[in-house]
Amino acid sequence: MSSYEENYLARRPEYLCHMCGKCCRVVTTSIPYKELKKRSQKGEKGASDFLSLFEPYESIEVARKVDAAVVDNIINRLIDDGNYNEEEITFYCCKYLGDDNLCSRYHTRLTLCRHCPSSPWSIVPPGCGFEGWLFWQREQEKQKVRLLKEELIELELLKHRTSDSQMLDKIDSVQSKIRKNINLYKRYGSENW
């Protein structure tokens, strides 16, 4: 099992899902539709998998008529993150979602479906059963980053207490690894944690 599966997916309590189907009925991607199609034509698996399931709504307004709360939640989040560009945003619905809100190919659903919500920072529909759990996971990740920042400070202080060049090199190397780890969270705002 990969560390992503061990650290995140295997711990995710599936029973929290109340099978409302909202995350299959109105979704978007960070990549514009035109670009997704290009990538799919070039054989990129992620893009091809997505387009094999999801069909685009004609417009944001049409998607809003299906579920305004989900559309507005996504748009507000994109605005907050500074990533909202109405020209580039497309909403989609999965063609395998049944009228009963259940997946008609649940047992053969693709990895992208099995991984959803795929990270503590995934945007989930308002009222999604995972909301509280994802919040808790984000707080745990933030706490890890805070501890790493504390370690950086301690190492910086240690540097001022030694003149041993080998020791200083070791400290630099450890600090560099810690900074790399912290940078993994930069896109989620780790500078402010």
Interface residues toward ligand SF4, by CB under 6 A: 17-24, 53, 94, 96-97, 103, 105, 109, 113, 124-125, 128-130
Q: Which is nearer to ligand SF4, 24 or 182 (CB)?
A: 24
Q: How is residue 56 written in tokens?
A: 């685009």
Minimal distance, residue 11 CB to ligand SF4, in Å: 15
With H, G, I as helix, E, B as strand and everything else as coil, classify residue 103: strand
**Least distance CB 92 / ligand SF4 (angstroms):** 9
CA distance 154 to 137: 26
Output the smallest distance, CB 63 to ligand SF4, in A. 15
Q: What is the CA radius of gyration of the chain?
A: 21
Tokens 């896109």 label which residue?
Answer: 187
* Cβ nearer to ligand SF4, comparing 23 with 36: 23
Nearer to ligand SF4, 23 or 47 (CB): 23
Minimum CB separation of residue 121 from ligand SF4 in Å reads 15
Distance in Å, CB of 160 to ligand SF4, minimum: 50
Peptide bond into 117 cis (omega under 30): yes
Cα(167)–Cα(173) distance, integer angstroms: 10
Residue 106, token pair as written in the block: 């649940």
Q: What is the DSSP letter of 148?
A: H
β-sheet bridge partners, residue 56: 92
Q: Which one, 69 or 147, has the nearer CB to ligand SF4?
A: 69
For residue 13, what are its two tokens? Answer: 């309590």
Tokens describing residue 75: 């748009």
